[in-house]
Structure 1
Amino acid sequence: MALSSTGADTTGVGPSPAPRPNRGLLPLLLAGNTAMYALYVGVPGMLLALQIEAIDPAEKVANFGLVSGVSAIFATVFNPVAGALSDRSGRRNPWILAGGLLAVPVMLLLGGVDTILLVTIAWCLGQAVMNVYQAALTSVVPDRVPPSARGRASAAVGLGLPIGSTIGALVGAAFSEDYRTGYLVFGAVVAATAVLFTVCARERKTPAKAPMPVRAQLAAFGSALKEHDFRWAFIGRALLVLGYFAVAGFQLYILKDHTELPAGLSAEAAVAILMPVNGVAMVVSTVLGGWLSDRYDRRKLFVGASAALAAVALVIPAASTSWTAMLAFSVVNGLGFGCYMAVDTALVTLVLPKAEDAARDMGVLNIANAGPQIVAPFVASLIVSASGGYTALFLAAAVLSVLGALAVRPIRSVR
């Protein structure tokens, strides 16, 4: 769910402190992540789901799972690769700009296709360019923010999720009958934000790295996972994200087929209500979680507690199919997931193995974001098909969140 980096070195040899962040960097991080999450939520969560349903209503769950899973493979591959390339170049801004600008033609292409195969190809390209953008943008926090301010910086990044999700849901609902224009709007917003960020957030070029043989590069990607604390942070993130996206990816279909909506309320309109509710809860918990984790220097406590709260949230719609239950789920889930993403991001930046490989290693961590999205749609569609509904899916996701909460306990170098 993110230019020279800092982090706690588990070997005891820490990197040099990060320089003081540029004035205005945190608002720019907020804007950049808001635009990114608006597209990530509005496109697959609304426009893509409606487009796939329109193409083949009878097989919408299976087709959506297929498109989401295959495209997530591209996200998994492009994120660490783009991060390593930006490390080698010694620059981040050009990669942010390139990924943002390419979002426009790719979204235009996605809006113009009308078969499942072409939708899959177009959305794969969308995932590719957006993860080039994301990999460089994610590296800003470890690169330019000192450890003492990581919680606040991560909160700025984390706020992009609730705000972007709300914008994405509202824009997606507004253009639910006009896919092509909706896709283009999302692409244009990302492109404009990329231009704003690269113009206003100056960076000092770091020395470029010498090219590495392909085999050495592949080995380097896995080297971070040999570090004890980074590995457990990776596992915890992967488990929670798997549970989250198993449910979140099918939200529109859950509202159509599982939830008892009030008379006159469409599923599309329900999404436009739930996302702002969820977003407000996430804003509150993101800001408080980031600030409190800085003040008390207790990252693990906040990460574990917020993951456990996310599990509680998932039990609510499993126990009741009412609209009230979905509203309650949105509030509690927002409180848990918002705090988790803010504080866990700060925690991860403190367990990065090497400062000079920050973007690459953050890209490896982002496999824990993108990788579960490969598995989640397939697993979710199988659970729904086998159980005949979404209750079992909520319970399975809750178990994964509990395991994600427990995964931070073995981390040693961060409290």
Structure 2
Amino acid sequence: MADQPGEARQTARFLYLYALAACGGAIAYVPFLTILLPLRVTALGSAQSLDIVAAIAFCGAVAASLGNIAFGWLSDRTGSRRAWIAAGLVLSSALLVAMPMARDAVTLIALIVVWQLALNMMLGPLSAWAGDLVPDAQKGLLGGLLAFAPAIGALSGSVVTIEGLSGPDGRLVIVAAAVIACVLPVLLLGQPRPMPQLMAPRSSDTPRAAKVVRGMWLARLLVQVSEASLFAFLLLWLRSIDPALHENRAAGIFTAVLSAAVLVALLVGRWSDRHDRPIEPLAAAAAVSALGLAIMALAPSMALALVGYAVFGLASSVFLALHSGQTLRVLPQPQHRGRDMGLFNLTNTTPSLIMPWLTLALVPRYGFDALFVVLTVLAASAALILAAMARR
């Protein structure tokens, strides 16, 4: 993408370095929460591993929700995103490396809560920063670039779980180092082009625009409940089908699906920019996500289960990446962008408050199939909401 100053476009340099920083944000939590944390819980020797993982997800989500809103608001008030991002980077990396200090479930949960606060000191201002600097005409491209983040996060899980590479504690050091290497470049070298038109304060918004914001929020929440359920319990679900499955193979499956989503998200994001149709791709991706979940619910074998997961993982990853870019288009008040992005981030964290209890209510008695049926209905509802918005 060539820089075009006359068209008030953000530089390719900043967009690519920002996407790299978003990858660093994903590396900070994806391998830890999906692979390394469940293994650490298992290492505690408790017979209630599922309950402990659920409790960690619940407490961590509360901390992440509060932290994202608070630090987004603080970055609005101070007018500085960079300083908060840098402070969160340092603190969250140090706390991640300190995880081996937790020798029991209570200590581990407490450390996770503090780590989530520090992590969202970085992630909240980072997400708002894109709204300050990326114009609407590049929001689709931004969403496509953001699809790299979950893919790279999953790839980092595959890398750190390679047998013989490192022990449990060393894996955390590798993750922290990778996060720092990804986030620092945009802080030091990004040199973004100022976009004063994106920062002009607005006092109020129209009822229709407010309705669009609510629809976007609800649709993402519904899809995220589905995504969060698999995010936390993917390894346990796969091992319920094949108990001999190694964690590195699980991470590899996760990586392959998310990597495929990158190309699709980039193509669809560029299409939505060229045709100025931001909502239709979101509705289609939500519908395909529902299809994947339905396949998983009905799958009689590991092979078909993985096909269903591939369909769901691909579509939901495209949905979430593009939705992140288009959210910045619909937020009404630039002067409160950090706070409002924190409120939108509730769609990422609230599912972790819902999902553990939904899973515990359904899976022990009815199995994972029942859970997938419920998630299919939620994803299909998101598709209907967005399709109705696109028709208006």
TM-score by length of 2: 0.89
Shifted more, 344-353 versus 325-334: the winner is: 325-334
Question: In structure 2, what is the Cα distance between the partners aligned to 1:38 and 1:375?
Answer: 24
Aligned residue number for residue 5 of structure 1: none
Matched position secondary structure for 2:80 = coil
Residues 1:313 and 2:296 aligned together = no
Q: Which runs of 5+ in 1 are unaligned?
A: 1-17, 208-219
Question: In structure 1, what is the Cα distance between the partners aligned to 2:195 and 2:103?
Answer: 45
Residue of structure 2 aligned with 1:347, choices 306, 323, 326: 326
Aligned residue number for residue 304 of structure 2: 325
Residues 1:84 and 2:73 aligned together = yes
Residue of structure 1 aligned with 2:10, choices 21, 26, 38: 21
Query: Cα–Cα, structure 1 residues 81 and 205, in superposed 2: closer, same or farther, change >3 Å?
Result: farther
Question: In structure 2, what is the Cα distance between the partners aligned to 1:135 and 1:411?
Answer: 27
Question: In structure 1, what is the Cα distance between the partners aligned to 2:107 and 2:61?
Answer: 16
User: Shift in Å at residue 325 of structure 1?
Assistant: 2.2
Query: Cα–Cα, structure 1 residues 206 and 85, in superposed 2: closer, same or farther, change >3 Å?
Result: farther
Shifted more, 166-175 versus 280-289: the winner is: 166-175
Query: Cα–Cα, structure 1 residues 408 and 84, in superposed 2: closer, same or farther, change >3 Å?
Result: same
Residue of structure 2 aligned with 1:143, choices 132, 154, 157: 132
User: Shift in Å at residue 112 of structure 1?
Assistant: 2.4
The 8 Å contact of residues 8 and 195 in structure 2, kept in 1 or not, is answered as no
Aligned residue number for residue 8 of structure 1: none
Question: In structure 2, what is the Cα distance between the partners aligned to 1:73 and 1:173?
Answer: 32
Aligned residue number for residue 217 of structure 2: 234
- The one-letter amino acid paired with 1:308 is A
Shifted more, 67-76 versus 34-43: the winner is: 34-43
- Equivalences, count: 379
The alignment's C-alpha RMSD in Å is 2.7
Instruction: Give 1:121-270 correspondences, 5 Å limit.
Output: 121-172=110-161, 174=163, 178-202=167-191, 227-257=210-240, 259-260=241-242, 266-270=245-249
Judging by fraction of residues, say which structure has more helix.
2
Residues 1:357 and 2:340 aligned together = no
Matched position secondary structure for 1:24 = helix
Aligned residue number for residue 256 of structure 2: 277
User: Shift in Å at residue 85 of structure 1?
Assistant: 0.6
- The one-letter amino acid paired with 1:245 is A
- The one-letter amino acid paired with 1:28 is L
Aligned residue number for residue 106 of structure 1: 95
Instruction: Give 1:46-57 correspondences, 5 Å limit.
Output: 46-57=35-46
The 8 Å contact of residues 20 and 183 in structure 2, kept in 1 or not, is answered as no
User: Shift in Å at residue 39 of structure 1?
Assistant: 2.6
Question: In structure 1, what is the Cα distance between the partners aligned to 2:129 and 2:17?
Answer: 10
Question: In structure 2, what is the Cα distance between the partners aligned to 1:145 and 1:205?
Answer: 9
User: Shift in Å at residue 370 of structure 1?
Assistant: 1.1
Aligned residue number for residue 395 of structure 1: 373
- The one-letter amino acid paired with 1:179 is P
- The one-letter amino acid paired with 2:238 is L
Question: In structure 1, what is the Cα distance between the partners aligned to 2:344 and 2:208?
Answer: 9
Query: Cα–Cα, structure 1 residues 191 and 269, in superposed 2: closer, same or farther, change >3 Å?
Result: closer
The 8 Å contact of residues 85 and 121 in structure 2, kept in 1 or not, is answered as yes
Instruction: Give 1:404-415 correspondences, 5 Å limit.
Output: 404-411=382-389
Aligned residue number for residue 213 of structure 1: none
Question: In structure 2, what is the Cα distance between the partners aligned to 1:111 and 1:288?
Answer: 42
* Runs ≥4 residues deviating over 6 A: 204-207
Shifted more, 98-107 versus 158-167: the winner is: 158-167
TM-score by length of 1: 0.84
Question: In structure 2, what is the Cα distance between the partners aligned to 1:111 and 1:176?
Answer: 18
- The one-letter amino acid paired with 1:120 is I
Query: Cα–Cα, structure 1 residues 172 and 269, in superposed 2: closer, same or farther, change >3 Å?
Result: closer
Question: In structure 2, what is the Cα distance between the partners aligned to 1:102 and 1:321?
Answer: 45
Question: In structure 1, what is the Cα distance between the partners aligned to 2:230 and 2:111?
Answer: 23
Cα offsets for 1:88-127 (capped at 9, x unmatched):
1111111111111112220122122121111111111221
Residue of structure 2 aligned with 1:366, choices 342, 345, 348: 345
User: Shift in Å at residue 406 of structure 1?
Assistant: 2.0
- The one-letter amino acid paired with 1:260 is D
Question: In structure 2, what is the Cα distance between the partners aligned to 1:23 and 1:313?
Answer: 34
The 8 Å contact of residues 28 and 201 in structure 1, kept in 2 or not, is answered as yes
The 8 Å contact of residues 19 and 144 in structure 1, kept in 2 or not, is answered as no
- The one-letter amino acid paired with 2:224 is V
Cα offsets for 1:385-405 (capped at 9, x unmatched):
232x21111111111111122
Q: Percent identity?
A: 24
